[in-house]
Structure formats: C-alpha cells, structure tokens
C-alpha cells in the first residue's frame, strides 16, 4: 500500500487563508482520514488525509493523495457530489480556488444566473 504524507501546517494555512478571503469570516476546518482508490485500476484503498469544511449546506472535501497531489469535491447530499473536472492538482492553492469556483458556478447555475 502506498504511503501518503501527513498534512503540513503550510498546506492548512493556504486553505484557511483562501477560505477567509472567500467568505470574509473564519470557517471551521476539520482534518480527518479517508480511504480512497488512488487510481481507478486499484483494487485496494489507500488512507489519505483530508480537509473538510461546511458552508451554507454544502460540504467540501480536499484529499491529499501524495506529495503535492490533491483532489477535491463538494456535495450537498451523498447523491449530489460534484468536482472541478480536474482529477488531481499539484498545487494546493489552485485546488482550493478551483473547488470554490466550481461550487460558486454550480450555485449560480442552480439560481438561473448563468
């Protein structure tokens, strides 16, 4: 099984700072672990650290899948899961900004703004 490095303080700082800029208020950021398949062909799952937060009924998850490797998704209910369209990022700032933009675009589409 592949070993995924732990979350660093710098990575968490990037996410917290980005969330503060977006929402203009502190957002509770939780750190947990999830078991996922790193590649679709994997038969086994790998334990990965994740960042999780919730805002206005939307849940956000960012997975650390390796050294400088990140995935993200947001969901409202377990059957309403969305991503950014990018399988994996090598820059954490790009990952979190893309996730927040994808969710904002989704909300605007749901309201009929776009």
19-45 pLDDT tens trace: 999 999 999 999 999 998 888 788 888
pLDDT < 70 stretches in the chain: 1-2
Note the helical H segments in the chain.
9-23, 92-111
pLDDT at 52: 98
Cβ atoms 82, 109 nearer than 8 A: no
Quote the pLDDT of residue 3: 82
Whole-number Cα distances in Å, 78 to 21, 44, 81, 86, 91: 27, 22, 6, 20, 27
SS3 32: strand
């Amino acid at each position: 099984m592949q070993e995924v490095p732990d979350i660093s303080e710098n990575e968490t700082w990037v996410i917290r700072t980005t969330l503060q800029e977006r929402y203009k208020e502190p957002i509770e950021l939780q750190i947990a672990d999830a078991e996922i398949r790193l590649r679709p062909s994997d038969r086994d799952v790998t334990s990965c650290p994740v960042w999780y937060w919730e805002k206005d009924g939307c849940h956000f998850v960012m997975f650390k899948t390796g050294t400088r490797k990140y995935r993200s998704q947001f969901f409202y209910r377990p059957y309403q899961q969305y991503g950014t369209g990018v399988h994996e990022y090598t820059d954490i700032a790009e990952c979190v900004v893309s996730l927040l933009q994808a969710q904002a675009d989704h909300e605007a589409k749901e309201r009929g703004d776009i």
